[in-house]
């Protein structure tokens, strides 16, 4: 199956890399519920013989005991007659350890060799899991990315999947075998080992599910789903039963770390039925990522409040209002590999205008330096000012398309708390505001309440 260009679909935010900052996700719950003879969870796969791709993250395979647990879970699905392909990450901490090791030899590791090194983390896990599955009485077989043939481009450390040869996997499945595939890695046309970027096992999982046209792709992680907002900030936050893929894409680009954004893009492009669930719970439906057009359910207007603490804002003042100015300001910033998020340019008055944008706080000093020393003298701007203590709060929901008054409700709610809005940016399904960082928690809490997110949905 040819999967090229999959990663270019529908990215709705100006900044598409996942930033650090842990949002939305519940810390793990370790309760266990005795498993009766109930369905694994209410899903339409419970009544059919399905082909399921399960992806287990680093913490879910973090020890031999946990790997055995994964084998037990897989066995339950097999016992129901399903075909199962398992995609695994490296054991938790392993990828970091391998990168650190490489850096002890070379401060800036050679990218080709770095991929040779870090791909071994997943190779260990597939072997261990295949052994655990065999011990549990199942037929199992492990595959590295190259053995499957997950063909990628040659962009070492951030390669994109071009195609997946699913022949071997299909033959094994037909033979009642559980197929265990190494996440995060592939092979380029010249036979070089490549990796897909941090968090890339999610993308392997979804891409394999797309190639096999799996009935469901289950992403097992240490949180039990996607939340209306970070429960550590708002205890009333609820797990969402469903979220649309576009909302998930926004959430991922707004800073969530639960899924690599490329995996969400893949799911959208190939309409992969994706579910996020906890590998530490025996039961639980997790969060299903749905597609609006084939989902008859009444969607909530707003699904979640996303936020990001680490913003910084910069304004170039008194910029000559003429063609090419935006490029002259942002060109050098982008050449320095600095991601720019919200961009605002005012209407020109008397031939000049103000131009503002936000960057990650870590890159604030670098960006200010470029603007003050290179851009300002070059374009003849009056001044460059900045504030590194900004935060971004966003309300996300596909219901915005068909409902008016979301923005005014958001702005009124913030006004009632005396919170000043410094910048506003919107897309079809989200409204983001930049505010002073010190009001972030208050803003998230009042918005969560104002949009009724603490209320159990009907």
Q: Which residues bind ligand ASP (CB under 6 A)?
A: 57-58, 89-90, 95, 121, 183-184, 198-202
Q: From the CB of 23, what's the least distance to ligand ASP, in Å?
A: 18
> What is the widest separation between alpha-carbon atoms in the chain?
79
Residues facing 55 on adjacent strands: 87, 219
Within 8 A by CB and 6+ apart from 264, the residues are 206, 245, 248, 249, 252, 274, 289
Select from Mg ion, ligand ASP, none the partner in contact with residue 255, using the beta carbon and a kind-dependent cut-off of 5 to 8 Å.
none
Select from ligand ASP, Mg ion, none the partner in contact with residue 90, using the beta carbon and a kind-dependent cut-off of 5 to 8 Å.
ligand ASP
Check binding of 205 to Mg ion (CB under 5 A). Answer: no
- The window from 111-119, 194-202, 280-288, 301-309 that contacts Mg ion (CB under 5 A) reads 194-202
Residue 55, both tokens: 């992806």
Q: Which residues of 101-132 are buried (b: 16+ CB within 10 A; e: fewer)?
A: ebeeeeeebebeebbbbbbbbbbebbebbbbb
If residue 384 lies in a helix (H) or strand (E), which one and from where to where? strand 383-396
Distances (CA, A) of 167 to 85, 161, 233, 419: 13, 17, 47, 58
Spatial contact of 87 and 183, defined as CB atoms under 8 Å apart: yes
Within 35-64, the residues that bind Mg ion by CB under 5 A are 57
In the complex with ligand ASP, the residue whose CB is nearer, 60 or 353, is 60
In the complex with ligand ASP, the residue whose CB is nearer, 202 or 215, is 202
Q: From the CB of 326, what's the least distance to ligand ASP, in Å?
A: 35
The closest of 204, 84, 210, 206 to 148, measured between CA atoms, is 204
Within 8 A by CB and 6+ apart from 59, the residues are 28, 66, 92, 221, 222, 279
Select from Mg ion, ligand ASP, none the partner in contact with residue 95, using the beta carbon and a kind-dependent cut-off of 5 to 8 Å.
ligand ASP
Distance CA 112, CA 39 (A): 45
Select from Mg ion, ligand ASP, none the partner in contact with residue 307, using the beta carbon and a kind-dependent cut-off of 5 to 8 Å.
none
In the complex with ligand ASP, the residue whose CB is nearer, 120 or 154, is 120
Pairing of strands 352-360, 242-244: unpaired
Check binding of 145 to Mg ion (CB under 5 A). Answer: no
Q: Which of 199, 286, 318, 399 binds Mg ion (CB under 5 A)?
A: 199
Q: From the CB of 173, what's the least distance to ligand ASP, in Å?
A: 23
In the complex with ligand ASP, the residue whose CB is nearer, 146 or 342, is 146
Reduced DSSP (H G I as helix, E B as strand, rest coil) percent helix, strand, coil of the chain, to 5? 35, 25, 40
Select from Mg ion, ligand ASP, none the partner in contact with residue 304, using the beta carbon and a kind-dependent cut-off of 5 to 8 Å.
none
In the stretch 112-131, what mask flags binding to Mg ion with x, by CB under 5 A?
A: --------------------
In the complex with ligand ASP, the residue whose CB is nearer, 129 or 342, is 129
Spatial contact of 44 and 302, defined as CB atoms under 8 Å apart: no
In the complex with ligand ASP, the residue whose CB is nearer, 164 or 375, is 164
Select from Mg ion, ligand ASP, none the partner in contact with residue 109, using the beta carbon and a kind-dependent cut-off of 5 to 8 Å.
none
Q: From the CB of 87, what's the least distance to ligand ASP, in Å?
A: 9
Q: From the CB of 184, what's the least distance to ligand ASP, in Å?
A: 4
In the complex with ligand ASP, the residue whose CB is nearer, 24 or 184, is 184
Whole-angstrom distance between the N-terminal and C-terminal Cα of the chain?
Answer: 40
Check binding of 200 to Mg ion (CB under 5 A). Answer: no
The closest of 442, 432, 443 to 313, measured between CA atoms, is 432
Q: From the CB of 183, what's the least distance to ligand ASP, in Å?
A: 6
Shortest-Cβ-distance residue relative to Mg ion: 199
Query: Any idea what the Cα angle at residue 368 is, between residues 366 and 374, rounded to 5°?
Result: 95
In the complex with ligand ASP, the residue whose CB is nearer, 260 or 315, is 260
In the complex with ligand ASP, the residue whose CB is nearer, 21 or 57, is 57
| Residues found near Mg ion in the complex (CB under 5 A) | 57, 199
């Amino acid at each position: 199956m040819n999967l090229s260009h999959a990663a270019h679909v529908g990215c709705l935010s100006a900044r598409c890399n996942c930033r650090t900052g842990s949002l939305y996700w519940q810390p793990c719950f370790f309760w266990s519920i005795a498993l009766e003879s109930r369905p694994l969870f209410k899903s339409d796969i419970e009544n059919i013989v399905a082909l399921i791709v399960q992806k287990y993250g680093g913490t879910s395979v973090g020890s031999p005991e946990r790997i055995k647990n994964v084998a037990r879970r897989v066995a339950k699905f097999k016992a129901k007659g399903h075909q199962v392909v398992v995609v695994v990450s490296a054991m938790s901490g392993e990828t970091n350890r391998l990168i650190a090791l490489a850096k002890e030899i070379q401060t800036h590791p050679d990218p080709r060799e770095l991929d040779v090194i870090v791909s071994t983390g997943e190779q260990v896990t597939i072997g261990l899991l295949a052994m655990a599955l065999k011990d549990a009485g199942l037929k199992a077989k492990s595959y590295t990315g190259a053995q499957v043939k997950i063909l990628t481009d040659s962009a070492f450390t951030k390669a994109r999947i071009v195609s997946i040869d699913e022949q071997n996997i299909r033959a094994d499945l037909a033979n009642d075998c559980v197929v265990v595939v190494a996440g995060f890695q592939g092979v380029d046309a010249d036979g070089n080992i490549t990796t897909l970027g941090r968090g890339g096992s999610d993308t392997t999982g979804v891409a394999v599910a797309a190639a096999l046209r799996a009935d469901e792709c289950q992403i097992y992680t240490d949180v039990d789903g996607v939340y209306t907002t970070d429960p550590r900030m708002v205890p009333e936050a609820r797990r969402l039963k469903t979220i649309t893929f576009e909302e998930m894409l926004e959430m991922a680009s707004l800073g969530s770390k639960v899924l690599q954004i490329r995996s969400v893009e893949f799911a959208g492009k190939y309409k992969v039925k994706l579910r996020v669930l906890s590998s530490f719970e025996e039961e639980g439906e997790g969060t299903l990522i749905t597609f609006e057009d084939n989902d008859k359910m009444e969607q909530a207007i707003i699904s979640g409040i996303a936020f990001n603490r680490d913003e910084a804002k910069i304004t170039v003042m008194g910029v000559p209002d003429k063609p090419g100015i935006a490029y002259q300001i942002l060109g050098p910033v982008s050449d320095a590999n600095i991601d720019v998020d919200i961009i605002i340019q005012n209407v020109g008055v008397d031939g000049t205008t103000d131009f503002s944008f936000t960057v990650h706080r870590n890159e604030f000093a670098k960006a200010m330096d470029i603007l003050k020393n290179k851009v300002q003298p070059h374009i003849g701007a009056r001044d460059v000012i900045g504030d590194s203590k900004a935060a971004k709060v966003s309300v996300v929901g596909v219901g915005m398309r068909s409902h008016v008054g979301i923005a005014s409700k958001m702005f009124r709610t913030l006004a009632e708390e005396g919170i000043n809005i410094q910048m506003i940016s919107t897309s079809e399904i989200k409204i983001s505001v930049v505010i002073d960082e010190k009001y972030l928690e208050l803003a998230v809490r009042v918005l969560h309440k104002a949009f009724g997110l603490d209320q159990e949905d009907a």
